[in-house]
Structure formats: structure tokens, C-alpha cells
């Protein structure tokens, strides 16, 4: 199987190069980059010296030689390449936001300030969160070539922290999303801002400091709310409102999300019962993710942290009930370059081609 990457010299693109060059079922890898066309990937990233030596070609050359194309381009750039891939019956996995909202052009326009160039493509694109849409991806890929809108990094960590209780809520009423919004506070490393320099990511601006940004206006807000609404509607409950606030931390990679979900009145307990009820909710999460290779529901007493998932495709989750016994607190941690971008894209590729879902993604998290 031949794979290609358009935009191979950005952070997510380079991570794709690292993963796909070691994937046992990728026979040939072809790369392109507008900024560095004509150079070698190891000239841009010397870490590839002696391991990956590939020229950076035109995007058209990548499409012509690939069975699947990954697009790691900025928003509103990749649609023409998706159209070219569909014409040639090539699977297309997009890491930008262009295909994350299906045919909801109004939402895309509101948050990204662009209109769809090829509206018909969006009617058949699939949102690529495997834990939400795995079967749909499998079914559509078995029939024809597909376009995958790879999820954003913040929405991945936030959504995986909420989905289990939304599915379970109809039967056991663990949560009451009509009482108050779901609140997501998330902290990300600086690689989430991409490779293009900007003042916010200069060392003197972000070192030794954590600060919120784009309060009440981050582009990932509608994607998080959309995922939660999809699961809520599947289970016959009213879609909840979501408040999302991102923060920037002085670290290279990782996202840690703390999520506050209102418990239904029948789950309000005394302090003596908090441990027992927490165990029951933890079991709901363990059952929901029992067959998920990259979601780890942590035991009592262990809380997720970004250093426990670094350079891996895992999402770690812990569940807690607040001291007032009225709110479920869920903590998730992912590597934003892996489960939040390139790793999840490779996971989607494995699903499309019917490979073992963990192929090329079995790395144990780096401990230091």
C-alpha cells in the first residue's frame, strides 16, 4: 500500500512521516511541501538523517503515486486535493478543519471565515473519531474511496471524556445535562499552534506561564459541542450546551482536559458514598471503552498527565465526583501530535484498509 503526505514539513506532517515510515503495511511513502519543494525531508528535519531520505515533490506527484493521501495543510487549502483524490479513487485523510463539519457550511463559515469550494465533497465526508464513527468509516471505505475529516486535538480529548456517560445517560440518568452546561477547561502545549512563528509562541511570551486564550471564541468549540450533540441525539437526550476554555502551557506537546458534567439528582450522594458511586461511573467508562485499543480508563488514585501519554496514541481518562457530590469531574490526557493529529490519522488509515488498528501505533509512551 502506498501512502502520500501533502504538507509534510509542518509539525503534524513531520509526525506523519515518522509514523508512516515505520508502518509495516506502507510499501512506499511520497511527500510534498510547497515551502521546501525540491529539498529532502532530512534537510528540513535532520532527525530523519540515516532513517528517512525522501524528496519533497509537488502535490500532484504525491496523488499520482498513492492509495491514500494525508493532507496536513492549513484550513481552506486542501479541498482541491481532496477533489483530485476522489476523481482518482484515492482515500483522503484531512488534518485541517475543512471536513470536520460534514455539509454544515454555515458553521464552517462562521468559525473559519471561508465557504466550501467543493460543497458536494462534504456530503460524503466522514468525521474521523474512531470511537464515535468506526463502523461508518469501515462501511463507507468498503464501498468506495472516502474523505476523512480528522478531529481536532482539543475535541478529541474533550469528546472522549464525555461520550460514555452520554450513551449511558438515557438508561441510568447518571448526568443531567439540562441543569447546567458541560464545562471543558483544557491546557495544550505550544506545538498545537503549528510551525509558523507567531508572537504568542515566542519563548519570552509563553515560558514560565500558563494563560487562557480565545476565551468564548476558540474554533474547536463548535466541534466539541457537535460531537457531544451527536452522541446525545443517538441516545434520545437533549443536546447539552458546552463551555470550552483553552489554555497555553510552556511545554512542547500534550493536552490535559478537565471536564465538569452535572450529575442527575438521583446520583447526588453523601460524602461517604462518593467512593462507591465513583467506582460505578468508572465501570461505565471501562465498559464503554473495553474494546478500544487507545483509550485507557485509569484505576482509582491515578490521574492522567501529558507525560504519561507522550509520543503515543493513547487517551488516558480518570473519573471523580466533586466533594459536594453534584458534579462528575473527568480528566483526559492525550499527545496533541498523536491522538490529537497524526496518530489518529494513521488509526483512521488502518480502519479504512482493514488493518489491525494498532499497526504503526504501538509505541509505549515516553517516560521522560
Contacts of 352 (CB under 8 A, 6+ apart): 68, 91, 137, 138, 141, 146, 148
Q: 70: phi > 0 → left, psi -120 to 50 → alpha, else beta; which?
A: beta
C-alpha of 94 from chain center? 12
Render 109-162 in DSSP notation, one character per residue.
Answer: HHHHS---SSHHHHTSEEE--HHHHHHHHHHHHHHS--EEEPPPHHHHHHHHHH
C-alpha cell at 277: 458511586
Residue 361 host element (H or E):
none
Catalytic residue chosen out of the listed positions 85, 153, 206, 229: 153
The question of whether 153 is a catalytic residue gets the answer yes
- The shares of helix, strand and coil residues in the chain, as percent rounded to the nearest 5, are 40, 20, 45
Helix axes 130-143, 153-172, angle to 10 degrees: 100
Round to whole Å and give the CA distance between 259 and 265. 19
Report d(CA 313, CA 130) in Å as an integer. Answer: 12
Of 196, 207, 308, 201, the C-alpha closest to 250 is: 207
Long-range contacts of 273-280 (CB under 8 A, 24+ apart): 273/325, 274/321, 274/323, 274/325, 275/300, 277/321, 277/325, 278/319, 278/320, 278/321
Give me 256's grid cell. 490535559
Q: Extract the C-alpha cell encoding 28.
A: 512506499
**Residues marked as catalytic:** 153
Amino acid at each position: 500500500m502506498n501512502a502520500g503526505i501533502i504538507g509534510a514539513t509542518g509539525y503534524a506532517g513531520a509526525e506523519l512521516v515518522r509514523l508512516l515510515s515505520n508502518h509495516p503495511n506502507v510499501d512506499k511513502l511520497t511527500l510534498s511541501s510547497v515551502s521546501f519543494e525540491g529539498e529532502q525531508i532530512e534537510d528540513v528535519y535532520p532527525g530523519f538523517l540515516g532513517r528517512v531520505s525522501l524528496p519533497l515533490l509537488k502535490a500532484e506527484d504525491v496523488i499520482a503515486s498513492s492509495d491514500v493521501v494525508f493532507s496536513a495543510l492549513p484550513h481552506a487549502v486542501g479541498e482541491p486535493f481532496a477533489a483530485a483524490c476522489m476523481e482518482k479513487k484515492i482515500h483522503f485523510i484531512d488534518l485541517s478543519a475543512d471536513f470536520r463539519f460534514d455539509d454544515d457550511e454555515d458553521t464552517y463559515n462562521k468559525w473559519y471565515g471561508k465557504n466550501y469550494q467543493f460543497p458536494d465533497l462534504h456530503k460524503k465526508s466522514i468525521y474521523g473519531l474512531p470511537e464515535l464513527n468506526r463502523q461508518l468509516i469501515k462501511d463507507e471505505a468498503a464501498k468506495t474511496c472516502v474523505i476523512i475529516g480528522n478531529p481536532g486535538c482539543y475535541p478529541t480529548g474533550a469528546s472522549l471524556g464525555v461520550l460514555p456517560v452520554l450513551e449511558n445517560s438515557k438508561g441510568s440518568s447518571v448526568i443531567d445535562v439540562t441543569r447546567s452546561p458541560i464545562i471543558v477547561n483544557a491546557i495544550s502545549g505550544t506545538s498545537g499552534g503549528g510551525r509558523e512563528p507567531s508572537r504568542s509562541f515566542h519563548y519570552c511570551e509563553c515560558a514560565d506561564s500558563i494563560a487562557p486564550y480565545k476565551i468564548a471564541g476558540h474554533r474547536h468549540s463548535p466541534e466539541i459541542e457537535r460531537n457531544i450533540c451527536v452522541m446525545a441525539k443517538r441516545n434520545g437526550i437533549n443536546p447539552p450546551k458546552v463551555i470550552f476554555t483553552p489554555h497555553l502551557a510552556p511545554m512542547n506537546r500534550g493536552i490535559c482536559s478537565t471536564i465538569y458534567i452535572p450529575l442527575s439528582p438521583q446520583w447526588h450522594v453523601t460524602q461517604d458514598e462518593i467512593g462507591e458511586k465513583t467506582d460505578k461511573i468508572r465501570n461505565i467508562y471501562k465498559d464503554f471503552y473495553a474494546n478500544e485499543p487507545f483509550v485507557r480508563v485509569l484505576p482509582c488514585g491515578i490521574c492522567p498527565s501529558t507525560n504519561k501519554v507522550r509520543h503515543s496514541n493513547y487517551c488516558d481518562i480518570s473519573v471523580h465526583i466533586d466533594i459536594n457530590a453534584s458534579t462528575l469531574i473527568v480528566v483526559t490526557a492525550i499527545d496533541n501530535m498523536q491522538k490529537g493529529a497524526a496518530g489518529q490519522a494513521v488509526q483512521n488509515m488502518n480502519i479504512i484498509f482493514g488493518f489491525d488498528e494498532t499497526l504503526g501505533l504501538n509505541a509505549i509512551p515516553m517516560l521522560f
